[in-house]
Structure 1
Amino acid sequence: MNAALETSTRKVILSMLKTQGPLSVHDMSKQLGITEMAVRRHIHALEKDNLLETKLVRQAMGRPTNVYTLAPLADELFPKKYMQLTIDLLDELLEGEGNEKIDRLFEGRQDKLQSRYASRMQDKSLEERVAELALIQNENGYMVDWSQVEEGEFVFSEHNCPITQVANVFQQACRCELALFQNLLDANVERTECLAKGGNKCLYIISQNK
């Protein structure tokens, strides 16, 4: 079986478990029209990727059998509309409460993030703080790289923005990220390119406070 076909079969198995709930190897074999041995090979690969969980079920007759369900990690493989929901809720808030309320909402998020990460910046040089900020943003999916261009000056690039759809509509997201960086780094931070404004990345120039 070629790699593309194997991947396709595994996707079908995941979809079956999502829509039908717990299934045994026998159940899957019957529905897929392939041997139980082939099903077990796919199951093994999916378990290795932490996408499946197994449970031993006792039956009225015969030996207990294993049934398989999706692990929490597998849920992330299915389409989600979280960003659209967020935008819809923010639109409702804007319509009902006005722009000032949206500003306060994003500023509150900024304050929470600042409180969460401030301790990671303590007793560090600016270079160490920039490195720590890169770690924080990478933990959150921003795909960061950074470099020092001269003494006390750094270039910080984010190649992905997990909240791009929100930032495209609500510029407060970008404004608060810039303020968060300035406060966490205790430095001058200038954004020269922005994904939400059509850039290829979010690019920041960071330098020592004067």
Structure 2
Amino acid sequence: MNQEQDVSTRKVILTMLKTSGALTVSEMAKQLGITEMAVRRHLNTMERDGLIEAKLVRQAMGRPTNLYSLTENADDLFPKKYHHLTLDLLSELIAEAGPDKVDLLFERRKERLISRYEEQIAGKALPERVKALAEIQNANGYMVDWQATEDGQYVINEHNCPISQVANQYNHACQCELMMFENLLGADVKRVECLVKGGNKCSYVIQQKQ
């Protein structure tokens, strides 16, 4: 079985465990139409990757057997539509209290993020602050790279935006990110490209304050 087929079979096993709950090797083998040995090979890989876990259970007859189920890590592999709920709630808030309240929420989120991250960045030289901020954004799912330019500036590129669905409707979210960067870096920051506005990435040019 080639690598592509292996990956496909593992996806099927993950879906089975998601929809059916915990299963034994025998039950999975029957549903997949492959040998129990082949199933165990896939399970070993997924267990190593932290996607499934085994629990030994006693049976009325015969030897105890392992029941396999998904871990919390595996749950992240399945589609999530949290942005629909977020957008619905923001719409309700606008209807009840007006658009200024939504802007205030984004402002408070910005201040909370600044408070959360400023200790990791404070006291460093600008290159180290840029590097630390890039690592923070990477950990938050923004798929970041950064570099220094020949003219002494720095560029942070975000190739993914986890809040893009919200930012598409509420541009203040993007403005708050820009202000958060300026605050944490203590530098002049300019956004020169934006995913929400049709760019291929969100790109920020950073330079030391004059």
- Interval of TM-score (by shorter of Structure 1 and Structure 2): over 0.9
Q: In structure 2, what residue type is equivalent to 1:27? A: E
Contact preservation (8 Å) 1:142, 1:162: yes
Report matched runs for 1:147-158 at 5 Å. Answer: 147-150=147-150, 152-158=152-158
2-structure distance, mates of 1:149, 1:5: 44
Stretch deviating more after TM superposition (176-185 or 21-30): 21-30
Q: What amino acid does structure 2 have at the position aligned with 1:28?
A: M
Separation in 2, partners of 1:96, 1:87: 14
Shift of 1:149: 2.0
Cα distance in structure 2, aligned partners of 1:9 and 1:159: 30
Match for residue 91 of structure 1? 91
What is the SS of the residue equivalent to 1:196? Answer: coil
Quick check: 1:168–1:196 contact (8 Å CA) kept in 2? yes
Aligned to 1:35: 35
TM-score of the pair, normalised by structure 2: 0.94
| Residue 95 of structure 1: how far off its partner (Å) | 2.0
Greater Cα shift, 121-130 or 180-189: 121-130
CA distance in 2, matches of 1:3, 1:150: 43
Secondary structure (helix, strand or coil) at the match of 1:53 reads strand
Match of 1:171 in 2: 171
Q: Where do 4+ consecutive residues of structure 1 move more than 6 Å?
A: none
What SS does the corresponding residue of 2:142 show, helix, strand or coil? coil
Q: Which moved more, 1:3-12 or 1:63-72?
A: 3-12
Gaps of 5+ in 2: none
Moved more, 31-40 or 68-77: 31-40
Deviation of residue 31 (structure 1)? Answer: 1.9
Match of 2:102 in 1: 102
Aligned residues of 1:29 and 1:35 also touching (Cα < 8 A): yes
Q: Distance in 1 between matches of 2:22 and 2:106?
A: 41
Find the aligned partners of 1:33 and 1:9 in 2 and give their Cα distance: 11
**Counterpart secondary structure, 2:41:** helix
Matched with 1:76 is 76
Offset at residue 68 of structure 1 (A): 0.5
State how far apart, in whole Å, the 2-side matches of 1:173 and 1:61 are. Answer: 59
Moved more, 187-196 or 8-17: 8-17
Q: 2:189 — aligned with what?
A: 189
Query: Where does residue 9 of structure 2 map in the other structure?
Result: 9
- Where structure 1 has 5 or more consecutive residues not aligned to the other structure, the ranges are none
Matches within 5 A, 1:91-130: 91-130=91-130
Determine the C-alpha separation between the residues in 2 that align with 1:199 and 1:25.
47
Matched residues, number? 210
Query: Would the aligned equivalents of 1:126 and 1:152 in 2 still touch at CA under 8 Å?
Result: no
Q: Please name the residue that 1:206 is paired with.
A: 206
| Equivalent residue, structure 2, for 1:135 | 135
Q: How far does residue 187 in structure 1 lie from its aligned partner after superposition?
A: 1.0
